[in-house]
Each structure stands twice: as C-alpha cells, then as structure tokens.
Amino acid sequence: MFDWLTREITNDLLRGVWLTVALTIVTAISATIAGVAVGALRMSSRGVGRRLAGAYIEVFRNVPALIQIIFWAFAVPNLFNPATRKALLFDNAVMDVARDLTGIPIPYYGLAGALALTLNTSAYIAELFRAGASSIPTAQVDAVRTLGATRSTAFRTLVLPAGLRAAFPAMSTRLVHNMKNTALVSFVAVPELFHELQASIQSTFRATEFLLLGAVIYLVLAAALSALLGWVDRRLHRGRLRHQGHRPSPGTRERVAA
C-alpha cells in the first residue's frame, strides 16, 4: 500500500520537513524581533522613525509574500553585473558554509526566501504588537514614569512584556500563517517540504498519495506549532490575570473563551 514511499523518497521528504521546520523557526524568531522593533518605532514620538515604520508595515504587509520572495531571490541578483553577482551572492565562503549547513543547493535563494518571509511576517507582527501595547492602560504607563523610570525603562519593563502578552494570541495566528508561507519558497528552488513533494510526484506520478501525505504533514506541523505557541502564551501569563487591561467589550471575553 505504501510502496510509493521508497526509502529514498522518505529521506528526501524528511529533509524537506527538516528544512520547513528550520525555516519556520528561524523566520518566526527574526520576524518577532524585527516586528517588535518596528512596532515600537511606530509608537515612538520621533516623526521620521514613526513614518518609516509605518511605511515598512504598509509595504511589506500589502505585497503578497510570493512576490516578495521572487523579488529578493530572482530579481535582486540582476542588479549586479554577472561577476559581482557570482562573488557576492552565489559563490563565496559564506554560501559554502550555508550550503553544508542547510543542504540548500543555492543558499542565496534560501536566504532571500527567509528575508522575504521575515519582512512580510514582521510587518504584521509590528502592527499586532502596536495594537497590543496600546491596550495597556495609560494610567499604568504614567505610574511607571512617575516612579522615575526613563522612557526606555518604561518600555523594557512595562510596554514590551505587557504588549507582547496582549498581542501574543494574534501573533501566534500570524506565525502559523508564516509556517504555511514557507511552502512558497519552493518557487525559488529551496528544497523544503512542498518542493520535495512536487519532486516526488514528478518522479513517481503518484500525485494523490504525496499530496495527501503532504497535507497530513502540514496539519501535524501546524498543530505542533500551535501547541508550542500556546505553551509560550501560558508562560507569558504565568501568575497574571489573563488579558489584563485588554477588554474589547463586555461579555466578549467569556464568550470567546467558551
């Protein structure tokens, strides 16, 4: 029944799964860091920074992830002349290390894909973090400032943790979305799971089997990532009332939790 799943193909698929997981984790971390930074900048009082952050959010959110991936991977290298391009992006010691480390034949494409996913997801996270942080009661911020905290201390001790806590459920949804978006880097020759599925179909002509197997694997990955993020969310809330200072409308909390 599973004769289509030869050892060789299984190994390829497992390598694909590994790359998908690695891409998911790397881009989730980089997007969260970049997103919080941009979100914080968006709330800053400096006009230029705020406007730059706003442009970052609008542009990287409103252009499809696929277009961004193709842009960084396939379009940008054309800006350089062939010799520079080769030395800078494709054929150098750093790329050799990356190739050995990740197993991506052309590591630059993997890097470009990861960059595109990071920019796209961080733009969403920036906006979610900003929304989360603006749900912090102003009285709390005033209290911290009155106690003599500088703006940066207030940010580090209050706005960052409380904002993250408030935004985390929505950020989790976006990070799961980001996991699914890693499938898009298959377009730029990065051999992650979706790419390996397509390759297996081409070599065996067993489309239905591999497509359904792929669906099952992505379901498992999504469930695992959701569980992991749920665990992080609970840790963020340890010893605190849930969603403090974040009450959309009367009765909603109970009903949403129901």
Partner 1 sequence: MSDQLDFIIRNLPNLIFGFPGQRPGGLLLTLVLAVVGLGLGFLLALPIGTARVARSATLRRAAQVYIWVFRSVPLILLLLIVHNLFSAGRLWLETSSFVSALISLVLYSSAYQAGVVASGLRAVPEALIDDARTLGAGRAKAWQTVRFPFAVRIMGPAFTNQAITLFKDTSVVVVLGVADLTTTARIALGSDIENAPFWVATYLTVGALYFLVATAIAQVGNRRFGSKTVARTGFVDRLDSTATR
- Can residue 53 be called a binding residue for partner 1 (CB under 8 A)? no
Is the CB of 99 or the CB of 246 nearer to partner 1?
Answer: 246
Q: Pattern of binders to partner 1 over 85-124, x per CB under 8 A?
A: ----------------------------------------
**Candidates 4-12, 45-53, 106-114, 245-253; binding stretch for partner 1 (CB under 8 A):** 245-253
- Can residue 197 be called a binding residue for partner 1 (CB under 8 A)? yes
- Can residue 76 be called a binding residue for partner 1 (CB under 8 A)? yes
Pairwise CA distance, residues 154 & 102, whole Å: 40
- Can residue 37 be called a binding residue for partner 1 (CB under 8 A)? no
Q: How far apart are CB 12 and partner 1 at their closest, in Å? A: 17
Q: Pattern of binders to partner 1 over 149-178, x per CB under 8 A?
A: -----------------xx-xx-xx--x--
- Can residue 4 be called a binding residue for partner 1 (CB under 8 A)? no
Binder among 33, 55, 97, 215 for partner 1 (CB under 8 A): 215
Residue 28 near residue 176, CB atoms below 8 Å: no
Is the CB of 33 or the CB of 224 nearer to partner 1?
Answer: 224
- Can residue 227 be called a binding residue for partner 1 (CB under 8 A)? no
Q: How far apart are CB 72 and partner 1 at their closest, in Å? A: 9
- Can residue 238 be called a binding residue for partner 1 (CB under 8 A)? no
